[in-house]
């Protein structure tokens, strides 16, 4: 998919990975709607984007992705503002083992909802022109983390959901490619949650072990994750693909056994 003039909606786009991806899309002449509950970070981000890429190309919509009506409205407002939708990046995520119900709502339920809303606005089934959806999981979906059991479960869930709905899209000819991206540790504000007892809950006492893992695996730059996203968007052959990004192997794909009886 050529990016110039394409319209993207990025959840959790105000900082971290989402912001890096939004910047890369704007750099490639796409238009971007940032959907994020952090008003202050969203406004700061949009001010920078307006200065760098012009004021007509990005939009900030304050929205908690767990509020289904607001998320629905954010998709509607994006389409009303830019005239269409081509790319959805379901990226918003939290690390909170204390409030694990919220973690499931943000990291998994809202990714499912965001995918269905993306299909509603892009699928040929609804008379639309097709598009691309990327759901953000984590390497935690492959190398489980004993310090983050619920976070890990949500990231496994995102991989399974994405692969299944991608196959449905192919069978039903939705014209929408749906893929999942699994980064290892990335240098973003999310990593600060390691030092926050209110987020780590009873796993807080293991924070030094997580830091040890980070020192072994290394910490990626958000720009490399943005590069992976653009690869998925540009490669029309990818559907149901599971992209992994690690310091040791860079951008690469998980392979699966073909289904057999
Ligand atoms: N940083 C890391 O090491 C890794 C992050 N990931 C995943 O990447 C995604 C992005 O994470 P980061 O950029 O690192 O995190 P971050 O904390 O830097 O940014 C997340 C953004 O999502 C927004 N957000 C959180 N909850 C929201 C909600 N309910 N509604 C709307 N917006 C909400 C935040 O306001 C923030 O702007 C997450 O899904 C995370 O699980 C995956 C692997 C590694
Ligand atoms: C408390 C930490 C807070 C947030 C970080 C997130 O949990 C993040 O989503 C977790 C990332 C976990 C990464 C785990 C493993 C990384 C492994 C590697 O980098 C390399 C190892 C093997 C590669 C094998 C392969 O790619 O096939």
Which stretch of DSSP H or E encloses residue 49?
helix 39-53
36 CA → ligand 1 middle, Å: 10
Q: Whose CA is nearest to atom 17 of ligand 1?
A: 190
Looking at this predicted complex, what is its ipTM? 0.96
Structure tokens at 62: 């304050």
Cβ-based burial of 72 (10 A; exposed 0-12, middle 13-18, buried ≥19): middle
115 CA → ligand 1 middle, Å: 17
Q: Which residue has the tokens 């949009």?
A: 46
Atom index in ligand 1 nearest the CA of residue 95 equals 41
Angle 200-205-211 from CA coordinates, rounded to 5° = 80
Q: According to the model, what pLDDT value does residue 219 have?
A: 98
Q: Is the CB of 138 under 6 A from ligand 2?
A: yes
Would you say 85 and 130 are in contact if contact means Cβ atoms under 8 Å apart?
Answer: no
Taking the C-alpha atoms of residue 7 and residue 118, their distance in angstroms, rounded to an integer, is: 12
pTM above 0.90, yes or no: yes
Residues labelled as active-site residues? 151
Q: According to the model, what pLDDT value does residue 261 have?
A: 79
171 CA → ligand 2 middle, Å: 32
Q: What is the mean pLDDT of each run of 10 residues along the chain (261 residues)?
A: 96 98 98 98 98 96 98 98 98 98 98 98 98 98 93 98 98 98 98 95 94 97 98 98 98 92 79
3-class SS string, 96-153 = CCCCHHHHHHHHHHHHHHHHHHHHHHHCHHHCCCCEEEEEECCHHHCCCCCCCHHHHH
Q: According to the model, what pLDDT value does residue 144 have?
A: 85
Q: Is the CB of 208 under 6 A from ligand 2?
A: no
Q: According to the model, what pLDDT value does residue 260 have?
A: 82
Cβ neighbours for 51, distance < 8 A, ≥ 6 positions apart: none
Would you say 182 and 138 are in contact if contact means Cβ atoms under 8 Å apart?
Answer: yes
């Amino acid at each position: 998919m050529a990016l110039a003039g394409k319209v993207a909606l990025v959840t959790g786009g105000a900082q971290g990975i989402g912001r890096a991806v939004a910047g890369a899309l704007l750099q490639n002449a796409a238009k971007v709607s940032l959907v994020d509950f952090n008003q202050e970070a969203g406004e700061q981000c949009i001010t920078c984007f307006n200065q760098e890429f012009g004021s007509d190309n990005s939009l900030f919509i304050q929205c908690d992705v767990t509020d289904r009506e607001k998320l629905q409205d954010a998709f509607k407002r994006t389409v009303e503002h830019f005239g269409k939708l081509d790319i959805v990046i379901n990226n918003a995520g939290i690390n909170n083992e204390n409030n694990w119900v919220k973690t499931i709502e943000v990291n998994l339920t809202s990714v499912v909802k965001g995918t269905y809303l993306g299909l509603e606005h892009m699928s040929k089934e609804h008379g639309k022109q097709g598009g691309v959806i990327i759901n953000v999981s984590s390497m935690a979906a492959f190398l489980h983390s004993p310090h983050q059991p619920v976070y890990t479960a949500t990231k496994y869930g995102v991989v399974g959901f994405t692969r299944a709905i991608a196959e449905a899209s192919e069978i039903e000819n939705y014209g929408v490619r749906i893929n999942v991206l699994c980064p290892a540790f990335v240098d973003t504000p999310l990593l600060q949650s390691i030092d926050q007892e209110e987020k780590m809950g009873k796993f807080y006492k293991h924070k030094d072990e997580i830091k040890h893992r980070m020192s072994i695996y290394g910490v990626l730059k958000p720009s490399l994750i943005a590069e992976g996203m653009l690869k998925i968007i540009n490669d029309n052959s990818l559907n149901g693909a599971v992209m992994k990004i690690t310091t040791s192997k860079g951008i690469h794909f998980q392979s699966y056994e073909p289904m057999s009886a």
